[in-house]
Amino acid sequence: MNAQRPRGSWEPAPAARWEDAFLTGNGTHGAMVHGRTDDELIVVNHHLLVCPNGGEDALAPDLAAELEQLRDAVLAGRAREAVARHVTGPLQWVRPFHPALALRLRRPAAPVGDYRREVDHRTGRVTTRWDGRRAETFASRADDLVVHREVRTGTVELTHHWQLDGAPADSAVRTTASSEPGGAVLRTDVRYPGGSGHGYTCWTHVRTTGGTLRTADAAVHAEGCAEVLLLTRVHPWEDPQPPALPDRPYPELLERHLARHTPAYDRVALDLGAPEEHRALPGSALLADPAAHRPALLERLFDAGRYHLLSSAGVLPPRLTGLWTGSWDTAWSGALTCDANLNLQVSSAAAAALPEVSHAHAAFVARQLDDWRSNARRLFGLPGIVAPAHTDGRSGHAYHYSEDYPLHLWTAGAHWLLQPLLDHVDTTGDTATADTLTGPALAEAADFYRAFLTRTGPDGRLQYVPSYSPENTPLGADSPISVNAAMDLAAARHTLTATGHHRLADRLPPYLLNSEGALAEWAWPAAPDDQEHRHLSHLHPVWPLGEVNPLDTPGLATAAHRALQLRGSENHSAHGHLHRALIAARLGDADLLGEALDAVLHGQFFHAALMSSHYPRLDVYNADAAHTLPGVLIEALLHSTPERIVLLPAPPAHLPRGTVRGLRTRCRTTLTTLSWDTAEGRVDAVLTADTDRTVTVHLGTDPERPPLSVHLRAGHPTPLHLEHHRS
């Protein structure tokens, strides 16, 4: 496989909708490029732009004094009555994420030929070409700004177009254009409505080569220029003033950006043997007929997913929309949704060799810990930490809840959000993150459980109450709040065991098998399963924990597999399908994983830009599918623990052959190369360890197949040649 083959996508026409605009981002700033030749719009985003809505000062409700009464009511079957007493007003959404504005570039209308717009994943550049002209945009990872360059585009008028979809009419907006040494600057100040005093400023500095530059009526006009260079930066007023814009020519700006972006992106590459004529097609053509183009489409979506994930992780991990939106009316406030979506989006970060994503996630958790401590005190009167289910990225207070969605009583969140970081530490040996964040935070989570787990049943086992399995309700129950949700038990057991509190962990109740032999969502007979729900929180012991797996716990794995088979898809949300696929991979079910992939590939979930939607038929712009799909493909090919590597745990028919390079494992070993051909029964791998170690290597998840014990010397590639026989 040529790791340097072109990786990106292209389209033969401009984007008619902002959802189809090609994306670039550096983890703080993002841009959405339509690629129009006469009236171009480049939507500028900033990860921390959130509009005040009352959530900026909200705290978790002060319910600590009512904890024991709540427990009594839940155990007596009066959960809804008890929860209703806590809900005194309408649902308070977190502050909504929104775009800053759009750079609007008007050029004289003229016939267009030889048109092509494209995004290069290896460079992070979006380029539009037509009739010998070129415009290119990237979000610099080195200098934290959006860079746009036009070459031979003749006359251009630049304005700041603020009134995008849903923009509040009562905002105070002022735009000015002025000359400055070497060019001009366009500045827009936006003060949010409502008297909060918050807002933001966007600057675009204009530099030209040749020609003339003038300003008039809040616009900058460039005429006869060989090159026009635009440097754009956004400053949310809640944050410190940014540094001055760098005075560097375009080649230097690009070189500095590439030095950070390209090595990160190139660490991993996937080749599924797609025909070159399919690889040459535009993304929309691949999406139009997934069955005919499956290898090329999966290659393209894998590449795009890693690109979008890397590009949207920096000051924060990705939101529901990554870090992009073209509307002020973004679904679910464009929040970071923590009870499922965020972890699914970052599921590939450790294995796909993107520590940049893990570092963004770690910084997010570290900044919110004080708020999580406040949640534990206010909601339960206990020490430790409780994470929110929704956050705007700035506040970690758990104030988004209602009777039907009592998210404030979800207590597994801290463990759930720490789990990707524990995988990162295992994979990289990042002792700094372990010593300063994951270790202390896990200890605080254990402090919460030690204080929380005080109720016991007649059998002497602890009762986990109140308990919540996001966002489901036991069948026939009048409240989602119940007892002994499997996710809560798994999170508590893992946290307590990892921090040395084994005796308390051993007192937790075991998982319950329901009447159909499936692992139940609640280990509580009075809480029967609702199998039509989109969430799969009860299979947390399988993915991501790995506590239940075919090699170590085959009986429980069979019960978990039955639970997965029984689960419906409810509203066919993308995250539901791909969560199912991740769990299927851990259970070794290649067919079920393939079915979940097919549901996404054939359900019209991907826009032409290869960003995804939440529902089928391109309904609701959302990054879940785009960011999670690479993790699904990786889990089909590789699973690992600190002592074990499992090759090809669940290769579906979608992946009959191929090569992947550079995947990382939790035993500090790189899967330098994995090549497979299931038809020929051939599997070739090369392992390279960071330190001397012995690892156990399994091919597939059959516990009857003897594993290999492989001694690895640090830095020395060790080849393996195996035979694969699919059952």
Of 114-123, 440-449, 530-539, 614-623, least confident by mean pLDDT is 530-539
The answer to whether residue 584 sits within a structural domain is: no
Q: What is residue 693's predicted lDDT score, i.e. its pLDDT?
A: 96
Cβ proximity of 249 and 231 under 8 Å: no
State residue 4's pLDDT score.
57
Is residue 290 very low, low, confident or very high in pLDDT (cuts 50, 70, 90)? very high
Contact 18, 34 (CB under 8 A): yes
pLDDT of residue 726: 56
Please report which confidence band the pLDDT of residue 727 belongs to, taking 50, 70 and 90 as the band edges. low
Residue 334: half-sphere exposure toward Cβ, Cα within 13 Å: 25
**Mapping DSSP to helix (H, G, I), strand (E, B) and coil, where does residue 62 land?**
coil
Whether 68 and 181 map to the same domain: the answer is no
Does one domain contain both 218 and 348? Answer: no
The CATH number assigned to the domain holding 160 equals 2.70.98.50
Boundary-marking domain end, from 218, 237, 271: 271
pLDDT at 103: 98
Secondary element (H or E) of residue 311: helix 294-311
On whether both 23 and 85 belong to a single domain, the answer is no
- The distance from CA 721 to its chain's CA centroid, rounded to whole angstroms, is 35
**How does pLDDT run across 37-88, given as a tens digit for each residue?**
999 999 999 999 999 999 999 999 999 999 999 999 999 999 999 999 888 7
pLDDT (0 to 100) of residue 120: 98
The pLDDT of 485-514, averaged and rounded, is 97
Residue 194's pLDDT band (cuts 50, 70, 90) = confident
Number of domains comprising the chain: 2
Query: How much of the chain, in percent, has pLDDT values that exceed 90?
Result: 90
- Asked whether residue 82 is domain-assigned, the answer is yes
Q: What is the pLDDT of residue 424?
A: 98
For the stretch 88-97, what's the b/e string if a residue is b when 16 or more beta carbons lie within 10 angstroms of its beta carbon?
eeeeebbbbb
How open is the CA angle 122-126-132, to the nearest 5 degrees?
Answer: 115
- Average pLDDT (496-525) is 97
Residue-averaged pLDDT of the chain: 95
**Which of the four pLDDT bands, split at 50, 70 and 90, describes residue 2?**
very low
| Phi and psi based region of residue 642 (left: phi greater than 0; alpha: psi -120 to 50; beta: remaining) | alpha
Question: Quick check: is 71 in a domain?
Answer: yes
Q: Where residue 410 falls among pLDDT bands split at 50, 70, 90? A: very high
Q: How do residues 128-165 score in pLDDT, each as one tens digit? A: 999 989 999 999 999 999 999 999 777 899 999 999 99
Residue 1 has pLDDT above 90, yes or no: no
User: Measured between alpha carbons, how far is 88 from 65 in angstroms, rounded to an integer?
Assistant: 16
Measured CA to CA, the distance from residue 254 to residue 79 in angstroms comes to 58
| Structure confidence at residue 291 (pLDDT) | 95
Q: Which of 512, 530, 546 is the last residue before a domain boundary?
A: 512
248 shares its domain with 367: no
Q: Report the alpha-carbon distance of residue 479 to residue 197 in Å, rounded.
A: 39
Shared domain for 136 and 73, answered yes or no, is: no
Per-residue pLDDT band for 209 (boundaries 50, 70, 90) equals very high
Residue 467, domain CATH = 1.50.10.10
Backbone angles phi and psi of 651, in degrees to 5:
-75, 110
Q: What is the pLDDT of residue 459?
A: 93
Please indicate, yes or no, whether residues 194 and 223 belong to a single structural domain of this protein: yes
Query: What φ, ψ does residue 676 adopt, rounded to 5°?
Result: -145, 150
The 10s digit of each residue's pLDDT in 679-697 is 899 999 999 999 999 999 9
Considering the domain boundaries, does residue 143 fall inside one?
Answer: yes
CA contacts within 13 A on the Cβ side of 65: 2
Integer angstrom CA distances of residue 484 from 319, 477, 509, 510, 684: 30, 15, 8, 9, 44
Task: Specify if 441 maps to a domain.
Answer: yes
Instruction: Let me know whether 434 and 402 are in one domain.
Output: yes
> By three-state DSSP, how is residue 99 classified?
coil
Residue 207 lies in a domain: yes
* 364 and 488 both lie in a single domain: yes
Question: Which pLDDT does position 3 carry in this prediction?
Answer: 46
Name which of 275, 9, 273, 4 is nearest 121 in CA terms: 9
**Residues 162 and 83 occupy one common structural domain:** no
Q: Give the model's pLDDT for residue 30.
A: 98
Asked if residue 691 is part of any domain, the answer here is: no
Q: Which tens digits make up the pLDDT trace of 593-612?
A: 999 999 999 999 999 999 99
- Residue 533: pLDDT band (50, 70, 90) is confident
Q: Six-digit token pair at 532?
A: 């039509």
β-pairing, 693-699 vs 644-647, is parallel
Please name which of 106, 116, 99 lies closest in space to residue 30, comparing C-alpha atoms: 99
**Cα–Cα distance between 523 and 70 in angstroms, integer?**
19
**Statement to judge: residues 354 and 482 lie in one domain:** yes
Bridge-based pairing state of the strands 183-191 and 146-161: unpaired
Please tell me whether residues 408 and 352 are part of one structural domain: yes
- Residues 347 and 494 reside in one and the same domain: yes
- Is 344 among the domain residues? yes
Among residues 235, 254, 271, which one ends one of the domains? 271
Predicted structure pTM score: 0.96
Its domain, for residue 197, covers 8-50+97-271
